[in-house]
């Protein structure tokens, strides 16, 4: 088990190097000159221009710049933005917002998704099943910003049930509505995945055995079918936590939440390379960590998976 974790951690090293390098190159390949953006549209004396370029190491070859950046990363230093602010502190504030939003969405999709999926699966062909199937199709079909604006209008403005923008009311209240909208798409997938997996497992041979053992239906569902059915759902949930934490530019935009997504969006607009690379690198690390956790949980759920 620990050997497995260690090996997976080692496997992450080339992934981190590869992805960060790719992001680094891409950001610097963006058209436009960050120093010019920094100076606004005003003309800048060549000497100042050169000094700034030198200050941000933009006059060095790309590989050297990247190496310098990596060294900083190892010391936990994500560099500084073109405004002179440290990327770490910038991320810290937006990160709290995104983490709270993602967590709200995740809890929502996990609880509701599995509950609806199980309910629909157990009464296959019934009213709940039909409602879940059509409802999830609706959610998957409608773009998230439509759901977002509609919910904001109806539940926020007209009914006044939730705060409409900002984070002033703190967690969880400020995050409930955006969280639910953000989680709605995955909720639909999870409900369907759970339902299908449950229906499939209800037909499995081991369920017939459980019946032949004279077990009550409740016990068969809870102890035998459910655990087997949830194996693919857990995988999805783990990967999706990574997705949610990657920030939701649209939802953060609609509800005016100063999270990671908005931060990246702004940084790309002003060609703020260090911020974009910093946040992206951080997200890669989160993805990898989420994947590792999924693999470990997967092994705990399904003994056929061995850590070798």
Partner 1 sequence: MNTPDPAPGTPLLQVDDLHVEFRMRGSTVGAVNGLSYRLEEGETVAILGESGSGKSVSAQAVMGILDTPPARVTKGAVRFRGTELLGLPEKRRRTYRGAKIAMIFQDALSALNPVHRVGDQIAEMLIVHRGMSRRDARKRAIELMDHVRIPSAASRAGDHPHQFSGGMRQRVMIAMALALEPDVLIADEPTTALDVTVQAQIMKLLSDLQEEMAMGLILITHDLGVVADVADRIVVMYAGRAVEEAAVKDLYARPAHPYTEGLLASVPRVDVRDRALSPIKGAPPNLAAIPSGCPFHPRCPRAREERCAGEVPALRDVTGTGHWSACHYAEEVLGG
Residues in touch with partner 1 (CB under 8 A)? 203-206, 208-216, 219, 223-224, 227-228, 301-304
Least distance from partner 1 to the Cβ atom of residue 265, Å: 44
Phi, psi angles (nearest 5°) of residue 66: -65, -45
Q: Which of 7/223 has CB closer to partner 1? A: 223
* Rounded Cα gap, residues 280 and 292, in angstroms: 18
Report which secondary-structure segment, H or E, holds 229.
Answer: helix 226-245
Shortest distance (Å) from residue 303 CB to partner 1: 4
User: Do 234 and 65 contact (CB within 8 A), yes or no?
Assistant: no
Q: How far is the CB of 197 from partner 1 (least distance, A)?
A: 13
Least separation, in Å, of the C-beta of 215 and partner 1?
6
* Residue of 247, 303, 306 whose CA lies nearest to 275: 247
Nearer to partner 1, 112 or 207 (CB): 207
Q: Which is nearer to partner 1, 55 or 208 (CB)?
A: 208
- To which H or E segment does residue 164 belong? none
Tokens of 208: 């017939």
Nearer to partner 1, 266 or 301 (CB): 301
Q: Return left, alpha or beta for 272; rule: phi > 0 is left, psi -120 to 50 is alpha, else beta.
A: beta
| Nearest-approach distance from CB 294 to partner 1, in angstroms | 17
For partner 1, the closer of residues 57 and 213 by Cβ is 213
């Amino acid at each position: 088990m620990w050997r497995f974790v260690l090996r997976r951690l080692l496997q992450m090293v080339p992934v981190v190097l590869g992805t960060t390098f790719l992001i680094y190159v891409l950001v610097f390949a963006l058209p436009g000159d960050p120093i010019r953006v920094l100076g606004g549209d005003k003309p800048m004396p060549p000497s100042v221009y050169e000094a700034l370029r030198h200050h941000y190491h933009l006059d060095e070859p790309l590989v050297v710049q990247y190496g310098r950046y990596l060294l900083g990363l190892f010391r936990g230093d994500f560099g500084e933005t073109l405004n002179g602010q440290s990327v770490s502190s910038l991320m810290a504030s937006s990160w709290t917002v995104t983490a709270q939003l993602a967590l709200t969405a995740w809890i929502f999709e996990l609880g509701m998704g599995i509950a609806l999926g199980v309910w629909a699966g157990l009464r296959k062909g019934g009213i709940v099943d039909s409602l879940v199937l059509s409802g999830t199709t609706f959610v998957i079909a409608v773009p998230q910003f439509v759901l977002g604006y509609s919910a904001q209008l109806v539940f926020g403005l007209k009914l006044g049930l939730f705060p409409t923008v900002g984070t002033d009311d703190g967690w969880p209240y400020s995050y409930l509505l955006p969280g639910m909208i953000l989680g709605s798409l995955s909720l639909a997938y999870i409900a369907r995945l759970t339902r299908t997996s449950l229906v499939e497992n209800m037909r499995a041979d081991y369920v017939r055995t459980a019946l032949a053992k004279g077990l009550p239906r409740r016990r068969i569902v809870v102890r035998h079918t459910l655990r087997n059915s949830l194996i693919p759902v857990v995988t999805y949930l783990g990967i999706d936590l990574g997705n949610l934490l990657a920030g939701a530019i649209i939802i953060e935009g609609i509800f005016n939440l100063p999270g990671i997504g908005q931060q990246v969006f702004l940084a790309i607009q002003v060609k703020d390379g260090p911020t974009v690379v910093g946040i992206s690198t951080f997200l890669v690390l989160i993805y990898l960590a989420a994947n590792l956790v999924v693999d470990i949980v997967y092994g705990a759920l399904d003994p056929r998976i061995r850590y070798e």
